[in-house]
């Protein structure tokens, strides 16, 4: 899935705000975490499982047809912050990206659900530079009323199952859907992903990654276009435990590597609390 989880159009330059850690390789964040979750400081948790799911689209995409402009997914974690995979946005200018909160059908001729907002800043954790934290926070131009997804505590362990939501293809080189789809996931031993990573010369970071395979009832694996999309726990209240990052293939029997959101909890809280001066300095990309 290493290729299938790459962003669909990683072709734009990027100006990002660097937080004391940097994430720079393709990964697919898959959420895990069953319980013990808590909201970021000062923010509510819970809400409908899918209303916090976000489609990332090119800002140049026409209003009535976002399908061709969609390149990654994300999840609302505060009323003006979207969590996604770093490899989706680190080479893109913030102004070239729009976030559609609560999106579903992205094709022409349909009513585009959700609220479309410009991204004004990208925040990366410092570990991005070491290739260990494939995560980024996008600051939106305005606040939304949608209830953010809940966040795991920093000490939460991975749950047994979760569900990934996004607009990924139905196989490598396959067809992308108009509507948001879901993939049930089952978390497996980290060793399976460690072997897959070493086979393609990637360094495993088990403390910051989750390993999963499609669960019962799945008709596809996470794939191209799903990068950055959230993995949510089941139940009435949505907790994002992972983000789609990458994998060796899109085969339904293959493993996928996901960002472990619990490992980012302290960083996310600092950004939510407005400590951007602690995070790093803003850099301006090409116009």
Active site residues: 87, 134, 227
Cα–Cα dist 181/219, whole Å: 10
Q: Are 71 and 97 in contact (CB under 8 A)?
A: no
Cα–Cα dist 5/135, whole Å: 14
Cα–Cα dist 77/270, whole Å: 13
Angle subtended at Cα 33 by Cα 28 and Cα 34, rounded to the nearest 5 degrees: 150
- Backbone angles phi and psi of 202, in degrees to 5: -105, 145
Cβ neighbours for 15, distance < 8 A, ≥ 6 positions apart: 93, 94, 122, 282, 283, 284, 285, 286
Give, as one character, the DSSP assignment of residue 276.
H
Element (DSSP H or E) covering residue 167 = none
Helix, coil or strand: residue 18: strand
- Backbone angles phi and psi of 88, in degrees to 5: -70, -30
Helix, coil or strand: residue 174: coil
**Residues 68-79, buried b or exposed e (16+ Cβ, 10 A)?**
bbbbbbbbbbbb
């Amino acid at each position: 899935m290493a290729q299938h989880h790459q962003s669909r159009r990683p072709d734009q330059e990027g100006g990002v705000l660097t937080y004391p850690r940097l994430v720079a390789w393709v990964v697919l964040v898959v959420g895990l975490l069953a319980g013990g979750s808590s909201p970021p400081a000062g923010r509510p948790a819970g809400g409908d499982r899918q209303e916090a799911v976000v489609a990332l689209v090119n800002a140049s995409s026409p209003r009535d047809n976002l399908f061709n402009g969609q390149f990654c997914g994300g999840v609302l974690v505060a009323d003006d912050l979207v969590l996604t995979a770093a490899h989706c946005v680190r080479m893109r200018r913030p102004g070239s990206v729009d976030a559609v909160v609560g999106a579903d059908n992205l094709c022409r001729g349909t009513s585009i659900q959700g609220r479309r907002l410009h991204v004004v800043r990208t925040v990366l954790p410092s570990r991005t530079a070491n290739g260990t934290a494939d995560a980024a926070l996008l600051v939106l131009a305005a606040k939304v009323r949608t209830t953010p997804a809940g966040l795991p505590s920093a000490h939460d362990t991975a749950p047994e199952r979760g569900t990934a939501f996004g607009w990924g293809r139905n196989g490598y080189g396959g067809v992308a859907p108009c509507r948001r789809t879901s993939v049930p996931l089952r978390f497996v031993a980290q060793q399976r992903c460690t072997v897959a990573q070493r086979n393609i010369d990637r360094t495993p970071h088990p403390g910051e990654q989750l390993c999963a395979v499609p669960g019962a009832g799945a008709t596809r694996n996470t794939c191209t276009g799903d990068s950055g999309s959230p993995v949510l726990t089941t139940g009435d209240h949505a907790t994002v435990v992972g983000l789609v990052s990458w994998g060796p293939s899109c085969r339904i029997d293959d493993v996928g590597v996901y960002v472990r959101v619990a490992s980012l909890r302290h960083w996310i809280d600092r950004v939510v609390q407005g400590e951007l001066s602690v995070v790093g300095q803003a850099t301006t990309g090409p116009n």
